[in-house]
Structure 1
Amino acid sequence: MVLGGGSPGFSAEAYLRAKSVWKGRPMRRRRLKAQEGEGITRPFSKGRDPRALGDVLEHISQDMGWRGELDQARLVSEWPDFAGESTAAHTTVTGIENGVLLVQCDSTTWATELRRLRSELVTRILIDYPDSEIRDIKFMAPGAPTWRHGRRVVPGRGPRDTYG
């Protein structure tokens, strides 16, 4: 039974049209009609066997364009394994902006040392997480102390001979 009195292919056609609009490439009617014939199979024919859930999810993530976001999330969650336990103990992934992985370090020493290893780490990211679209890593040192407290701040160079 078909809800709404439409044809059985109506829901599939509506889904394909919505998906194409979401991706930014509206489908033409001719293209929809050509795809309707592709899904027709006969009982007990080849291709009717159930597929593994992992294969189905892999196909869906690729079809919907989620591969990049999934690879980025996997990199963030696997950072201790990727960077190593000793490095991960002193670093934290804070985010990803415009293809740049942002990593906060415990000390300036760690940030400096990891900046030297940046090219090796980026190469490993490109190999291990090719769909993540990460092209660079920014290692940030901890922030310096600030003397700007309160609502009123006087412009200038700040304290200079405070510790002398």
Structure 2
Amino acid sequence: MTEPDEPAPRDDGLGLARDIAKSYRGKGSPVPPSAKRRIRPAKPARGARDEPSLLADLLGEVVNDQGWDERLAAQRVFTDWAGIVGPEVAQHSEVIAFDDGEVEVRTDSTAWATQLRLLSPRIVAKLNELMGDGSVLRIIVRGPQAPSWKKGPRSIRGARGPRDTYG
């Protein structure tokens, strides 16, 4: 027969119930792991949307959903100007506006304004290549601002400008 300290055979449900009762009273061995109910970890109810993804991909989706593609492409004219025209030309010029396919550029000197006017067909082609065909129609080049003769200590009301001051 069995010893009093040994657990009863677990062939039937009654023996298993006795073992469980003894373990609660502090007598006998606890329920062996094989007799315990197996608990499986819960699978997350969330789908693939919670998979880790790159922030750039998420921002790209937001940009597409909001319809900001064209505006961001237009901003490339301002941010990538040095890469588009080269560092030397970018050092002497800056983009001041971009509206309705017209890029407005201000230069340091009239010589650089002339150079940019000569290079403008190439720059338009390169901008259209980068931003999409037909996005830039022309480049308006502005030279440096000339001093105004209309205001100041030596100005005369109703005068015709610098022609009246030099004899």
TM-score of the superposition, structure 2-length normalised?
0.60
Farther-moved stretch of structure 1 (109-118 vs 128-137):
128-137
| Partner SS, residue 104 of structure 1 | strand
Supply the AA of the counterpart residue of 1:70. L
In structure 1, the gaps of 5 or more residues are: 1-42
User: 1:71·1:131 contact (CA, 8 Å) conserved in 2?
Assistant: no
- Do structure 1's residue 79 and structure 2's residue 81 form an aligned pair? yes
- The structure showing larger relative contact order (alpha-carbon pairs under 8 Å, at least 6 residues apart) is 1
Q: Is the 8 A contact 1:94 1:103 kept in 2?
A: yes
Tell me which amino acid in the other structure corresponds to 1:56.
L
Post-superposition Cα deviations, 1:70-126, rounded to whole Å, max 9, x if no partner, equal 122232112112211110111112122333211110111111111111111011111
Corresponding residue for 2:30? none
Count of aligned pairs: 122
* Structure 1 residues 48 and 86, CA gap change in structure 2 (3 angstroms): same
* Paired residue secondary structure (2:64): helix
After TM superposition, the structure 1 stretch with the greater mean CA deviation from structure 2, 69-78 or 104-113, is 69-78
Higher helix share: 1
Q: 1:128 to 1:66 in 2, by over 3 A?
A: same
Q: Whose radius of gyration is greater, 1 or 2?
A: 2
Question: Within the alignment, does 1:158 sit opposite 2:153 as a pair?
Answer: no
- Contact 1:67–1:132 (CA under 8 A) maintained in structure 2: no
**Structure 2 match to 1:111:** 113
The correspondence for 2:56, drawn from 54, 57, 70, is 54
Letter in 2 for 1:58: G
Distance of aligned partners of 1:92 and 1:46 in 2 relative to their CA distance in 1, 3 Å threshold:
closer
Equivalent residue, structure 1, for 2:131: 129
2:156 paired with 1:145: no
Structure 2: gaps of 5 or more residues: 1-44
Q: TM-score, normalised by structure 1?
A: 0.61
User: Is the CA contact (8 Å cut-off) linking 2:106 and 2:144 kept in structure 1?
Assistant: yes
Partner Cα separation in structure 1 for residue 59 and residue 93 of structure 2: 32
Q: Percent identity?
A: 34
Rate the CA distance shift 1:57–1:103 in 2: closer, same or farther, 3 A.
same
Could you tell me how far 1:163 is from its partner in structure 2?
Answer: 4.7
